[in-house]
Structure 1
């Protein structure tokens, strides 16, 4: 069965930097055809180059919260590689929330970016996977992997919108896994803890003491590199995980094993 993704075609959103970029790069190195998708065209051009005519990597720049942009992304992928086998929903945004401010708008923004974009793109790509598998009686038709967070299971009032969107994404993963199982499309998620993303790097520059706090509350005592998530995503994408669907794989250095509430003093 194996773990190869060579020759498969993947769309990786949020791939201009951080975790999404690490996954897209890893897939390219493993021989997959990869469409890098993000809003940040300058970073995509820097990573992929200006040539869009050969090789196993292409890029697509646009706001995937727009339905037409999603359709154009799928069309561009099919034009370049003729099919799509893997979708990695890695386009995520983190922002602080004010739980008591009705006009804050952060919950709506997080749900739009982190949940609805992944849901709509998954629906669109799944329909294409089903269509291109007509006449294929066995084997995996496609794999969808959502990037989530342990914030879905932790209590972070200052990250209300982000936490709620991640919890909703986890439930979406389970529901779509059941709905798409008869079509032989698997849907899983990776929930990660503190990873050295572009956003976390920016936070650490402003709050140096935050690194020590993260390391103290992580049994493995460090922040993960983005590349450490790429192997796990490859596993969920390949035939080696063919009997796995609807699961939320946690990669957090053991952080969710600890009680977030301090023990009372005796």
Structure 2
């Protein structure tokens, strides 16, 4: 079975930096057409160049919390590449929560940031995938991959909002996998442990001891580079994982094998 994604078209959100950027670049290197999407237009231009409108790379800047923006993203992808075969819902935000404060709206904020756009984009892209496959009776119609976190399975009060939104994204993955299976669209997720994302870089700058804390609670004793995760996402996108759907693939250096109490969760 092939793990190739050459000639396929992928939308990758959260692609202006860190994990999303690494996945998008990896996909492009493997021969896929890639639409890099993010709210940070400057970041997209800085990383991809102002002339990222030739070959197999395009970018789209907009706030995916808005329905119209999601529709425009899909339209821009179809205009550029005529199809969409892979969706990577990678836009996510991490924030500190106060679980005891009634004035803390971080749970609502992160559900709107990390969950709702993934749901809406999945619905819209899946509809397009089905339309593209009209008349076909065999083979994969599309693959959708959500980027989640082991925070969904761990208890850390300061990360309440992130944990709740990650758990919701995991359940979205399972539910949409069942709903879309008759259309031959697979939905899976990758739950990350500590990866050198933009948000984690900021945290480490503010707290130099946090790195040691993470490494102490990770059996492999290190933080992953964003590029290390791209191969796993490619596997889920390819027909090599053709009988896999509704699964949460964990890449965490062994973190969830240990006692989770008081251990950092991202």
**Considering the TM-score relative to the shorter chain, is it more than 0.5?**
yes
CA distance in 1: counterparts of 2:5 and 2:233, whole angstroms: 11
The residue aligned with 1:251 is 251
More moved, 48-57 vs 85-94: 48-57
Question: TM-score, normalising length from structure 2?
Answer: 0.97
1:59 aligns with 2:59: yes
The residue aligned with 2:17 is 17
Do the aligned partners of 2:156 and 2:261 also contact (CA within 8 Å) in 1? no
The residue aligned with 1:165 is 165
Give per-residue Cα distances to partners, 1:149-196, cap 9 Å, x unaligned.
Answer: 000000010011110000010001000000000000000000010000
Q: Would you identify which runs of 4 or more consecutive aligned residues in structure 1 move more than 4 Å?
A: none
More moved, 216-225 vs 38-47: 38-47
The residue aligned with 1:143 is 143
What secondary structure is seen at the aligned counterpart in 1 of 2:10?
Answer: strand
Cα offset for 1:51? 2.3
What secondary structure is seen at the aligned counterpart in 1 of 2:128?
Answer: helix
Question: TM-score, normalising length from structure 1?
Answer: 0.97
1:206 aligns with 2:226: no
Alignment of 1:27-176 (within 5 A): 27-176=27-176
Query: Please, what is the CA RMSD of the aligned residues?
Result: 0.9
Alignment of 1:174-253 (within 5 A): 174-253=174-253
* Gap runs ≥5 in structure 2: none
Give per-residue Cα distances to partners, 1:26-59, cap 9 Å, x unaligned.
Answer: 0000000000000110111122222254200000
Q: 1:152 to 1:51 in 2, by over 3 A?
A: same
